[in-house]
Structure 1
Amino acid sequence: MSNPGLQGEEVVAQWLQQQGARILHRRWRCRWGELDLVVQWGEELVFVEVKTRSAGNWDGNGLLALSSQKQAKLRSAAEFFLGESPQWCEAGCRFDVALVYYQPVGKSVEVAAIAPPVTYENHQFLIIDYLQDAFSG
């Protein structure tokens, strides 16, 4: 499979658009790191971190990978983004986290999902959780 992480981001971007969000940037990069998705949702600017994992992952489907250091990097990248995008400086901002699970098509593991599965290259991708305002402060 080419890149499950990129496909997970695509699945989340499509789902967010179905929810009424507008994707502004995908994989926006600066010296502080990368913002997976930058989204306008109503009047808010949302920075979405996508974690894509398969069975047997070690980090709680990606949630444990959001250490305080990772959160600080995301905050720094978001501040840099806002510095380069003054039109968003007055908007409310938040950080959301999308957890995506993927498995080979036909695998019998039942996973609770919040959206219908998406199939790509013989794998099923399921959004298993979407955490709004996942970290603040």
Structure 2
Amino acid sequence: MHCPNSGQLGEDLVAQWLQSTGWIILHRRFSSRWGEIDIIAQHDGESGEAEEQKENFSRAKQQLSANRTQHSLLAFVEVKTRSSGSWDAGGRSAITPEKQAKIWRTAGIFLAQYPEKADYSCRFDVALVYCQRISKNLTNFTATQEALATSSAAGHKFKLQEYILAAFDSLIDDG
């Protein structure tokens, strides 16, 4: 089974989910000669800070400008979209040390192009998306792990099954 444009649709789902959780999408498919990063997202502060900003906008705006670098986080996100029976553990095994090195180098190029973000904390995340054809005659139901987010497009259902924070460290530790 092939999902048409599955990679792009999986990335769309992850980008929408990130935005719904307070992230700002800076780039999609940022590429350099070293490779490509599917999503680069930024998060500024915590939800408690957002409430404070609503109560006293002008004071918070000044404070945010002064503390933006200190509280901002960049996430370089690799999205793997797979259908059932994939050979690579739902995309997890495709994040090889070589792939990680390409993403690290590409992130360095991004930070060189945007030096105002060079002092931000950075993290390398992996999103695992499952793609399944939607059957008109669905008679069987299989219980699976609850998805973080879902969407449907082109006769397929996409599920964000797992979002691995700081994944490169955990994938290296597991390997």
Over residues 19-66 of structure 1, what are the superposed CA-to-partner deviations in whole Å (9 max), with x where a residue is unaligned? 010000000111011000000022101100000000110000000000
In the alignment, structure 2 segments of 5+ residues that lack a partner are: 45-71
The whole-number CA distance in structure 1 between the counterparts of 2:150 and 2:143 is 11
Q: Does structure 2 retain, via aligned residues, the 8 Å contact 1:51–1:99?
A: yes
- Superposed counterparts of 1:6-85, under 5 Å: 6-42=8-44, 43-85=72-114
Q: Does structure 2 retain, via aligned residues, the 8 Å contact 1:111–1:128?
A: no
The whole-number CA distance in structure 1 between the counterparts of 2:6 and 2:14 is 12
Q: Which residue of 2 aligns with 1:103?
A: 132
Bigger shift: 10-19 or 103-112?
A: 103-112
SS for the counterpart of 1:48 is: strand
When the two chains are superposed, the root-mean-square deviation of aligned CA atoms in Å is 1.5
State percent identity of aligned pairs: 43
> Structure 2: which amino acid aligns with 1:37?
I
Structure index of larger Rg: 2
Higher helix share: 2
Higher strand share: 1
Label 1:116 to 1:80 Cα distance change in 2 as closer, same or farther (>3 A): closer
> Structure 1: which amino acid aligns with 2:153?
Y
The whole-number CA distance in structure 2 between the counterparts of 1:26 and 1:118 is 19
Match of 2:151 among 111, 118, 121: 118
The whole-number CA distance in structure 1 between the counterparts of 2:90 and 2:149 is 18
